[in-house]
Chains A and B, each alone.
Chain A
Amino acid sequence: GQQLNQSPQSMFIQEGEDVSMNCTSSSIFNTWLWYKQDPGEGPVLLIALYKAGELTSNGRLTAQFGITRKDSFLNISASIPSDVGIYFCAGRSGGNSGYALNFGKGTSLLVTP
């Protein structure tokens, strides 16, 4: 599958700071998803986006589906220590759930108290 370009690779921030990470692709996606993975666990879905331009929030998390359909960003506001983990963007080019996801390489987030 196609690899997405996700940045930054890692972030080391203080508690209370806002965080922003993004993903780009050379192809168009119909769906963008953001996941968080803790060590030794499977990814957990944070936000799903299905329409170009869509802006969706989930608590302190906000994500947007880029207008070009080739990018997405995730913002975390007022970070807390439990936000620590690896965040992955994922895109799907097909029109239904039978298509696999393409994943970014992940953003490792460290939050100090």
Chain B
Amino acid sequence: GAVVSQHPSRVICKSGTSVKIECRSLDFQATTMFWYRQFPKQSLMLMATSNEGSKATYEQGVEKDKFLINHASLTLSTLTVTSAHPEDSSFYICSASDTSVYGYTFGSGTRLTVV
């Protein structure tokens, strides 16, 4: 079945630094990738939708200059959290879809801790 690989699984960074999270579709081409954020004991909140080769569409309230998304190929999307602050600490999850995948496949998530 479809597999989405997300790295790193955990990252701790200092306040003010930037962190890049990668999301790869391993056995299918992902025309669209989604980035979610999840706080403890809460649901997944969509941050942005990215289509290969075009600019990402951000949800209301998500700062596009802070959360940079790049979807340069059909198998790779990256989320960069710039100038991270402690309030950016969260669980970030990507998901990918293409026309042949009837469900949305999720990555295993990245636990970001900003200290």
Contacts and interface: CB of A to CB of B under 8 A. Distances in A.
Interface string B35-46: 000000011111
Interface size class of chain A, counting residues whose CB lies under 8 Å from the partner chain: 20 to 34
Interface SS of B by simple majority: strand
A42 B34 CA distance: 13
Interface SS of A by simple majority: loop
B59 interface: yes
Interface stretch (B12-20, B70-78, B81-89, B99-107): B99-107
Interface of B: 4, 6, 31-32, 34, 42-46, 49, 51, 59, 91, 93, 95, 97-99, 101-109, 111
Interface of A: 1, 3, 33, 35, 40-45, 48, 50, 88, 90, 96-98, 100-101, 103-106
Closest 10 CB pairs of A and B: A42-B106, A97-B97, A45-B103, A48-B103, A42-B109, A103-B43, A105-B43, A42-B108, A98-B32, A103-B44
